[in-house]
Amino acid sequence: MDRGSRGGRQRRLVTRCRLATALGVIGAIGIGAAAPAALGADSVYWGTYPGLIRVANLDGSGAPVTLFTGEQHVMGIGLDPATGKLYWAEGIGINTIRGGNLDGTGAQSLFTNETNATGLAIDPAAGKLYWDDGGVLGEVRAGNVDGTGANTLYGPGESPGVSGVAIDPASGKIYWANSSSPGAIRVGNLNGSGTPQDLFADNRPEGVAIDAAAGKIYWSTGGAAGTIKVGNLDGSGTPQTLFINQNNPIGVAVDPTAGKIYWVEYGTGSIRVGNIDGSGTPQTLFTGEIQPYFLALLRSPVGAGAPQISGGSTAGSTLTCSQGLWQPDLVGAFLYRAPGSFGYQWSLNGTAIAGAATSSYTTSAPGNYNCQVTGTNPAGSSSQTSAPFAVTAAVHHPAPPPTLTAVAQSHRRWREGNKLAVITRKRRPPVGTTFSFTLNEPASVSFTFSQRVTGRRVKGRCVAQTSKNRHKHACTRSLVRGALSFTGHSGLNRVTFQGRISKHKRLKPGNYTLSITATNAAGQRALAKLTFTIVS
C-alpha cells in the first residue's frame, strides 16, 4: 500500500479498520483468549490498527494471542521484563501513551493529548519513555514511566512524518525516522540538547533499531516494494539494502546474538524474520494479522558471568552468593531479556541441599559448596552456577587453662595462733601466714595440705609403721591432713591462715606441702605448690 502523506494514510487506516470490524475479522484473531500462550517462551510483541496488542512465540510456533483489546491504533511497543511491564503508543484515536502488565492486565493511560504518537522506546534502568509525536509539526518527546515529566526533546518542526524512535542510553543518543518528503534517518542527544542531524536521506523510512556494539542502525522503508536497510551508526558510508519487495514494512527489531532482524509487514499482515546480514530468504512467522505496526522481542535471561561465593572457609561459617552477571536489555534493538527475579539453590559436593534456597547459607559440614542462581522473566528462566567453594572442618581451639602466678606466702615458718599472748624476751616465729596468688580468670580454688611422714615398705608399698613391720625398710609417705575450697576471682587473691582447717580441726605442728588447684568453668586446671612449717 502506498500511504502517501500522513493525513491521507490516517484516513485510509480508519476506513480499513471500520471495514475489518464490519466483516468480523477482529474476532478471528483471538480476542478474549485466556492466558497468553507465549508467556514462558521467547516472544514477539506487536500492535495493530484495530487497537490490539498481540504476542506470539518467537520461533513461529503456535498461534498469536491478544493481550489487550479496545486500544486505538497501537503504533510502538516497549517492554520492561524486570518489572513485568509493557508500554505502547496510541496514534490515531485517543492519542496517548499507555502502559500495562505483560500478562495482559492493568492497562492505564500515562500521557494524554499526544497528537498522533508513533513509535515508542523505553530505558528501564532510567525509568524513561521516549516517543515521537507525528502531528502537524512533529516532535520527539520523553516522560517518566510513572506518567510524570512529559517534555519535548526536539520540535515542533520535525515535520509530521516522525515515525519510530530508538535510544542508546550509553552514548546519550536518540534516533528516529522522518518519513515525510524528503525522508531521513535522524539523530540527536537523549537529553534534547543541541541540534539534531541527518544520518541518511531515504524515501519514507518507518521505524529504526540500533546495534550499538556493532555500530549499525536498521530501518524499514514503506511502499508495496518496501525494503529493510542498514547503515553505519555514525552516518558514514552508503546504506545497504538487506531485503527488498517487502509490502509496507513498518518497524524493525534486532537480535544481534542470534543474527536475526524482525519486522512487520503492514500490507500483508505478517510478522517476518531474516538474517541480519541480508543473506538467505526472509521467513514469515505469522500471517493474517490486521494492519500490524512496530514490534519488540522478549527473550529469557542470558547469563554473562557466574555467581561468586564469599564467606568463611570453615564449617559453621555463613556463605553469601552474588546474583552473577546477566546480559542487559538491548533497548535500542528492541530486544528485552533482563531478569526480573532471582532464585537460589545451594549444593554440597554436587547434591542439592534441601531448603537452602536463599542468597546466604550457614555451612554445617566440610566439603565443596556451589550456589546456583536462576534468573527469571516472563519469557522463562536460565541458571548459572558458581565455582566450588571449599569448606574445611572447623578447628576447635580449647580455651586456655587458668594460670596461677605470683604464688607466695608471707611466712614459711610460723606457729598457730590460738594461744593467749605471752610477754617474752625470746624472739618467736610469727602467728600464721598469708598465702597469695594471681588468677587470669575466675576459678574454683582448692587448698590441699599434705605431710610427709616415715613409714615402712611392705610388698612394694609405703605403709604406716606398726609393731609388726617396724623392721622393714624405711620410706616416706605423703598424707593429706586437710583441705579447704573457695571461689577465686580474677586478679590477686589473698588467704590468711593460722593452721585451722575447720572449727574443730587444725593442723598439728610439722612440715607441710600446700597444693593449690584452680579449676575454670571448662574444667581446665592449674596447679601450684608451697611448703611451710608449723612450730609449737
The predicted-structure confidence for 430-450, as pLDDT tens digits, reads as follows: 888 999 999 999 999 999 999
Band (pLDDT 50/70/90 cuts) for residue 161 is confident
Please identify which residue in the block is written with the cell numbers 601450684.
Answer: 528
The confidence score (pLDDT) of residue 429 equals 79
Range scoring the smallest mean pLDDT among 303-307, 392-396, 456-460: 392-396
Contact 433, 416 (CB under 8 A): no
Please identify which residue in the block is written with the cell numbers 549499525.
Answer: 216
SS3 state of residue 60: coil
**C-alpha cell belonging to residue 293:** 505496526
Share of the chain above pLDDT 70, in %: 90
The confidence score (pLDDT) of residue 402 equals 87
Band (pLDDT 50/70/90 cuts) for residue 50 is confident
Query: What's this model's pTM, rounded to 2 decimal places?
Result: 0.72
Interacting residues of 49 by C-beta distance below 8 A, sequence separation 6+? 13, 16, 17, 73, 74, 92, 290, 291, 293
For CATH 2.60.40.10, list the domain ranges present in the chain. 303-391
Average pLDDT, the chain: 88
142 pLDDT more than 80: yes
Nearest to 299 by CA among 61, 62, 40: 40
Contact 220, 206 (CB under 8 A): yes
Band (pLDDT 50/70/90 cuts) for residue 427 is low
What pLDDT, in 10s, does the model give residues 393-412?
Answer: 987 777 788 888 888 888 88
How far from chain centre, in Å, is Cα 451? 73
Select the CATH number that applies to the domain covering 303-391 from these four: 3.40.50.720, 3.30.1370.60, 2.40.30.10, 2.60.40.10: 2.60.40.10
For CATH 2.120.10.30, list the domain ranges present in the chain. 6-298
> How far apart, in whole angstroms, are the C-alpha atoms of residue 527 and residue 459?
31
148 pLDDT more than 80: yes
The confidence score (pLDDT) of residue 6 equals 40
DSSP 461: E
User: What residues pair up with 265 in beta bridges, in sequence order?
Assistant: 249, 270
Band (pLDDT 50/70/90 cuts) for residue 391 is very high
> How far apart, in whole angstroms, are the C-alpha atoms of residue 377 and residue 55?
15
A 10 A CB-CB count for 42 gives 17
Nearest to 81 by CA among 330, 406, 392: 330
Q: Provide the pairing of β-strand 117-123 with 108-111.
A: unpaired
Nearest to 108 by CA among 135, 85, 134, 78: 85
- Which fold, 404-535? Immunoglobulin-like (2.60.40)
Range scoring the smallest mean pLDDT among 49-53, 172-176, 327-331: 49-53
The confidence score (pLDDT) of residue 22 equals 31
For CATH 2.60.40.2550, list the domain ranges present in the chain. 404-535
Range scoring the smallest mean pLDDT among 219-223, 331-335, 379-383, 399-403: 399-403
27 pLDDT more than 90: no
Band (pLDDT 50/70/90 cuts) for residue 420 is very low
CATH superfamily assigned to domain 6-298: TolB, C-terminal domain (2.120.10.30)
Instruction: Characterize 315-343 residue by residue with b for buried, 16 or more Cβ atoms within 10 angstroms of its Cβ, and e for exposed.
Output: beeebebbebebbbbbbbbbbbbbbbebe
422 pLDDT more than 50: no
**How many residues make up the chain in this entry?**
536
- Alpha-carbon dihedral sign for residues 61, 63, 64, 67: negative
**C-alpha cell belonging to residue 466:** 606398726
**C-alpha cell belonging to residue 529:** 605448690
Nearest to 416 by CA among 505, 506, 532: 506
Mean pLDDT of 355-369: 96
The confidence score (pLDDT) of residue 450 equals 94
